[in-house]
Structure 1
Amino acid sequence: MKLVRTFGRGAKAAEALITTLEQRGALNMGRVEPVVREILSDVRLRGEEALREYAAKFDSLGANDALLVSREEMKAAWEATSPHLQEAMQVAQANIRAFAEAQKPQEWMIAPADGVETGQIVRPLGSVGCYVPGGRYPLPSTLLMTATPAQVAGVERIVVCSPKPARETLAAAWLAGITEFYRVGGAQAIAALAYGTAAIARVDKIVGPGNLFVTAAKAFVSGECGIDMPAGPTEIGVTSETGDPAGIAADLVAQAEHDPEALAVLITSNAELAEQVEAEVKQQAKSNTLAKQSLAKQGCIFVTSTVTEAQELTNRLALEHLTVDSAADVKWVKNAGSVFVGAYSPQSMGDYVSGPNHVLPTGRNGRVRGGLSVMDFVKVITVQQYTMKGLSQLGPHAIALAEAEGLVGHAESVRVKMRGPK
């Protein structure tokens, strides 16, 4: 990991690095844009034929392999799963479901004036596509994290796409009751979900994490298909003054092993802690090839001049996962995907069983939203109803505003209703 001081002789280099990190989302997607746009266009134009060609090339899909995974295959995977792992999946699913139930927005009505009722109703999306990465590691946890809140929301059609799905992922699909699971991934899967093919009907929204190609594809189709957020390669931040060096290093190494593009950052004004963590990371990543690679490429330790500067830099970077020392620190956190508090809250617990979603915003999108939630699978629709009495009270104010804007038709529509039916 690079150890950089934000003050003194290192200030200029530190600011240049911070600026680069602030631009990480756009810069990364720019690297893959030409390839991704070509795949999207090809699948849109040639449909199933192009989808299968890319699936054969990137996902090892055989010419005679079915795109759709059968329920029998999912059931067999579940039955071949150890009771220990089955129980872990069930615990995770229950906690994710409970958290989503608590998040679910409510319907309500208020009366801003006598004879006027306004409020909101909540309706599920019609269909969603859940993308589950299937490259280096099986990710049954991601299937549960994406499908479960959609089920809590009441989404009628839930589609899963995952390349080369592992037995563990298929087992999670059986547990979740998934009936539409396709063994395709990458930008080609996003194209199929957004545009539709002969086998895969298009969906209303695509959710789930992925590599740079998947993240870019989601961004590029977002004008025609809803998406949750850019949820690309993992990011971890730790902002600490008093943390345990071994514990901090363990979190950094754990998240860094996800992807060679993973970003791991420690921010502290405690120079001694910074040096201790640097040494611990080196030791703990020694036999973890992927973590060692990403930490060498993108791992950063920022030593700031003050605690306040460390806090400001944390919010400026808006990292996906953030660990802080204590509950008091949560008060200054403004931008992050998910926050982990204290020495006994490893970020890996959030990846699996805590309940809050592990699909989180990357590329500084923590400035504008948090992680995937049940709210991503519902529409909040407003409702308003007037009686003649209510219209008589508020109508003149609407007429005044309409006339001020020069919208005479708007004003007249209120006047006509105020006079009542003929």
Structure 2
Amino acid sequence: MKIVQTFGETAAAAEAAIVQLEQRGATNTAKVDGVVQEILADVRARGDQAVRSYSAKFDGLGDETPLLVSREEMQAAWDETSEELKAAMRLAQANIRAFAEKQLPRAWSFRPSEGMEVGQIIRPLGSVGCYVPGGRYPLPSTLLMTVTPAQVAGVERIVVCSPKPARETLAAAWIATHEAAGVVEVYRVGGAQAVAAMAYGTETIGAVDKIVGPGNLYVTAAKVAVSQETGIDMPAGPTEIVVTSEVGDAAGIAADMVAQAEHDPEALAVLITSQTALAEAVAAEVEKQAAGNEIAKQSLAAQGHIFVTESAAEAQALTNRLAPEHLTVDSGADVRWVKNAGSVFIGHYAPQSMGDYISGPNHVLPTGRNGRVRGGLSVLDFVKVITVQQYTQAALREVGPHTIALAEAEGLVGHAESVRVRMR
């Protein structure tokens, strides 16, 4: 990893690199937009036939293999899972569920004035599609992270799409379907074709109201493309990590950077510090720890950055400017300056891997600077907040004239009359 100072002779080069990182979301998906649009159009036109064609080409799906995974397959996968992994899945599911239950919004109402009552009710989405990556690594954790909050929200129909779902993923599907509420359909389909199937519907896979979950550039580009017709959570593309530290442990920081970098050759890993000695120590540790990890080496070589700033305040400002998916800081006091991030990890004893699996907060997080406008996936993504209002006749007569005044000021005479006719 190259160390670049944001001041002095390298200031211009540092700024150019930072600007490029700021544009990473749109720049990355643009690479695959053409191919993705072709796949989406084909699936919309040919349905299952197109889905099978792409799944055979990219994932080796057999001609006779059903798209829908049976409950018997899921149960068999669970039965073949070690007790150690079963215990880990149960703990992860319990923590994710508990966190989601705390996040659930509540219904309420109040009376701003006599005879006028306003409030909100909470209703779950009717159906959601959960994308679970399955390319380089099986990700049973993502199945639990996406399905569990949907179940807590009360979503009636939950669809899971995952390419070549591994035994571990099917085991997680079993615990999600067998030991929790809600109908979960699991399909062995991935990539842009899975997003298209969930968005448009095919003969086998019914369309859903919203698609959630992380994926590679093709999946992310597909989600963005279908978002005009189907709800999505966010662009959740290749993994990002930023560590902003003044006093951190070099070995621990490097370990987190390598861990996130191994997800994908497109992953982003950044250290921001005002301490040159720490920057140099982390660079050395990263090189040593990534030595036997080819994917991490690729991503760190292509997207690994270490920025040395003039001050801690500059490091903090740069962090918020990058709006990273995962952010590690030194202490709880640092949270006060954090404005833009998907999820924050505090101190030496909070490795980001804990959040990826066990802690409870969701690991589906905003990438490509979307941390400026939202946080990670939560139970809020699976519910609708519907507002409610009612008046007595006396209250309408009291407040109605103000509505009439505003409506007439805007020239909307019909709006004014709809109130006036009820006040007589």
Q: Distance in 2 between matches of 1:332 and 1:133?
A: 33
Say yes or no: does 1:341 pair with 2:346. yes
Q: Distance in 2 between matches of 1:343 and 1:32?
A: 38
Match among 269, 294, 306 for residue 299 of structure 2? 294
SS of alignment partner, residue 32 of structure 2:
helix
Say yes or no: does 1:212 pair with 2:217. yes
Shift of residue 48 of structure 1?
1.0
In structure 2, the residue matched to 1:151 is 151
Q: Distance in 2 between matches of 1:79 and 1:13?
A: 55
Shift of residue 179 of structure 1?
3.7
- Deviation readout 1:86-138 (Å, 9 max, x if unpaired): 00000000000000000000000011111000000000000000000000000
In structure 2, the residue matched to 1:20 is 20
State whether residues 124 and 154 of structure 1, in contact with CA within 8 Å, keep that contact through their aligned partners in structure 2.
yes
Q: Distance in 2 between matches of 1:356 and 1:411?
A: 47
Q: Distance in 1 between matches of 2:59 and 2:190?
A: 7
In structure 2, the residue matched to 1:54 is 54
In structure 1, the residue matched to 2:80 is 80
Letter in 2 for 1:239: T
- Deviation readout 1:163-216 (Å, 9 max, x if unpaired): 000000000000000641100000000000000000001000000000000000
State whether residues 228 and 372 of structure 1, in contact with CA within 8 Å, keep that contact through their aligned partners in structure 2.
yes
State whether residues 250 and 281 of structure 1, in contact with CA within 8 Å, keep that contact through their aligned partners in structure 2.
yes
SS of alignment partner, residue 14 of structure 1:
helix
SS of alignment partner, residue 84 of structure 1:
helix
Q: Is there any run of 5+ residues in structure 2 with no aligned partner, and where?
A: 178-182
SS of alignment partner, residue 78 of structure 2:
helix
In structure 2, the residue matched to 1:30 is 30
Q: Distance in 2 between matches of 1:86 and 1:150?
A: 21
Q: Distance in 2 between matches of 1:140 and 1:192?
A: 21
Say yes or no: does 1:261 pair with 2:266. yes
In structure 1, the residue matched to 2:369 is 364
Match among 193, 207, 218 for residue 188 of structure 1? 193
In structure 2, the residue matched to 1:127 is 127
SS of alignment partner, residue 117 of structure 2:
strand
Identity %: 75
Letter in 2 for 1:410: H
Q: Distance in 1 between matches of 2:292 and 2:254?
A: 14
Superposition misfits of 4+ residues, deviation over 6 angstroms: none
Alignment of structure 1 residues 14-413 onto 2, 5 Å: 14-177=14-177, 179-413=184-418
TM-score (norm 2): 0.98
Letter in 1 for 2:369: R
- Deviation readout 1:127-164 (Å, 9 max, x if unpaired): 00000000000000000000000000000000000000
Q: Distance in 2 between matches of 1:259 and 1:386?
A: 56
Q: Distance in 2 between matches of 1:37 and 1:225?
A: 15
Q: Distance in 1 between matches of 2:318 and 2:49?
A: 48
SS of alignment partner, residue 75 of structure 1:
helix
SS of alignment partner, residue 118 of structure 1:
strand
In structure 1, the residue matched to 2:422 is 417
Shift of residue 417 of structure 1?
1.0
Letter in 2 for 1:111: R
- Deviation readout 1:59-111 (Å, 9 max, x if unpaired): 11000000000000000000000000000000000000000000000000011
Q: Distance in 2 between matches of 1:391 and 1:266?
A: 59
Shift of residue 293 of structure 1?
1.0
Shift of residue 288 of structure 1?
1.1
Q: Distance in 2 between matches of 1:418 and 1:276?
A: 75
Q: Distance in 2 between matches of 1:70 and 1:40?
A: 26
Shift of residue 309 of structure 1?
0.6
Instruction: Note the aligned Cα RMSD (angstroms).
Output: 0.6
State whether residues 240 and 325 of structure 1, in contact with CA within 8 Å, keep that contact through their aligned partners in structure 2.
yes
State whether residues 340 and 346 of structure 1, in contact with CA within 8 Å, keep that contact through their aligned partners in structure 2.
yes
- Deviation readout 1:287-337 (Å, 9 max, x if unpaired): 111111110110000000111110000000000000000000000000000
Letter in 2 for 1:60: G
Q: Distance in 2 between matches of 1:216 and 1:317?
A: 20
SS of alignment partner, residue 85 of structure 1:
helix
Letter in 2 for 1:227: I
Shift of residue 5 of structure 1?
0.6
SS of alignment partner, residue 394 of structure 1:
helix
Letter in 1 for 2:276: A
Q: Distance in 2 between matches of 1:212 and 1:4?
A: 28
TM-score (norm 1): 0.99
Letter in 2 for 1:232: G
Shift of residue 407 of structure 1?
0.7
SS of alignment partner, residue 56 of structure 1:
helix
- Deviation readout 1:270-298 (Å, 9 max, x if unpaired): 11111110111111111111111110110
Q: Distance in 2 between matches of 1:391 and 1:2?
A: 68
SS of alignment partner, residue 349 of structure 2:
coil
Q: Distance in 2 between matches of 1:271 and 1:120?
A: 53
Letter in 2 for 1:371: G
State whether residues 71 and 179 of structure 1, in contact with CA within 8 Å, keep that contact through their aligned partners in structure 2.
no
Shift of residue 374 of structure 1?
0.2
Letter in 2 for 1:207: V
Letter in 1 for 2:300: L
